[in-house]
Structure 1
Amino acid sequence: MPTFYLDTSAVFKRYVLERGTVFARELFDRAIAADRLTTSRLTAVELEAIAACAVRARVLSQEEYGTLLAWFALDLKNVLFIAPVTDATMFEAARIARTYGLRAPDAIHLATARLVRETTHSGLIFVSSDRELLTAAREDTFTVLDPEDDPALATLRALR
């Protein structure tokens, strides 16, 4: 019964074709009843910002942008468990930022994952394509998966 914590880079791969998309789509589409896909409330804001920047840069059309947001809204409702960003999360994020030298959003993601791990008492798998964040998560004793790594899909299948 794996619990997966996905940062925004991992979630975004589900909606836009890029390296790691096959992994992300399988993670979401083949989620078994026992899987728990978790992310931070921060992801909703970050994903909207990334998508809006992609439209402005003409990487996404307005139609693709609307489709992406609609698909994400369905996942928020039906697939993703959204962990809140609380005062405890922010306090933990500040400590993490000092310890690992992470940017604020990355520190919030790692703090959220820590708190989820503590409350679920399960082996949480941290999923991201951000190298600095993956390094910090590994140092923080998380099992990590990078959707862009070649063995990630095989590892995902073995976990299930």
Structure 2
Amino acid sequence: MPFYQFDASGLVKRYVDETGSNWVRALFDPSQDNVISIADITRAEVASALARRTREGVITLNERDELMQAFQTHCATGYRLVLTEHSIIDLAVDLIQRYPLRAYDGVQLATAITVNQSLVAYSLPPLIFTIFILK
């Protein structure tokens, strides 16, 4: 059973048609038996991404509301939410000091590192951290 961690840039592709959406959606096929975790801050990031796409005219207000409802349902029933504890923030601060990361990117990376350490400690397959960066 593969373990995936999504940040908002990857997760939003499940809800909005854009480059990479088909690949992301395939990971959510129940036959794949994938475990999907997200940092709790991803909830705010996805809400922001959907609101921005509404302002830009990519999706309608109605579509945004439907997508947010689907996302909230998935958060409640399908995703493993990782709480952003002090230890994750401390690690994020360290990572941000060493690498050119934005604040939430540092928290996302620190969350992925923490989840991966837990998986490895229990002899489970390592985490696959899924992000999409377009510059």
Deviation at 1:127, TM superposition (A): 0.7
Aligned position for 1:128: 131
Deviation at 1:30, TM superposition (A): 3.4
The separation in 1 between residues aligned to 2:130 and 2:110, in whole angstroms, is 14
Residues 105-158 of structure 1 deviation map (CA, whole Å, 9 limit, x = unaligned): 1100000001101112231111111269xxxxxxxxxxxxxxxxxxxxxxxxxx
CA contact (8 A) 1:28 1:79 kept: no
What TM-score does the superposition give when structure 1 sets the normalisation length? 0.77
CA contact (8 A) 1:40 1:85 kept: yes
Letter in 2 for 1:10: G
What TM-score does the superposition give when structure 2 sets the normalisation length? 0.90
Following TM superposition, the consecutive aligned residue runs of length 4 or more in structure 1 with deviations greater than 3 angstroms are 30-33
Deviation at 1:57, TM superposition (A): 1.9
Q: Secondary structure at the match of 2:106?
A: helix
Aligned position for 2:72: 73
The separation in 2 between residues aligned to 1:44 and 1:15, in whole angstroms, is 13
The separation in 1 between residues aligned to 2:129 and 2:31, in whole angstroms, is 16
CA contact (8 A) 1:96 1:102 kept: yes
Counting matched residue pairs gives: 131
Aligned position for 1:116: 115
Aligned position for 1:36: 35
Extract unaligned runs of 5+ from structure 2: none
Q: Secondary structure at the match of 1:13?
A: helix
Aligned position for 1:57: 56
Letter in 1 for 2:75: L
Deviation at 1:96, TM superposition (A): 0.8
Aligned position for 1:23: 23
The separation in 1 between residues aligned to 2:96 and 2:134, in whole angstroms, is 15
The separation in 2 between residues aligned to 1:19 and 1:88, in whole angstroms, is 34
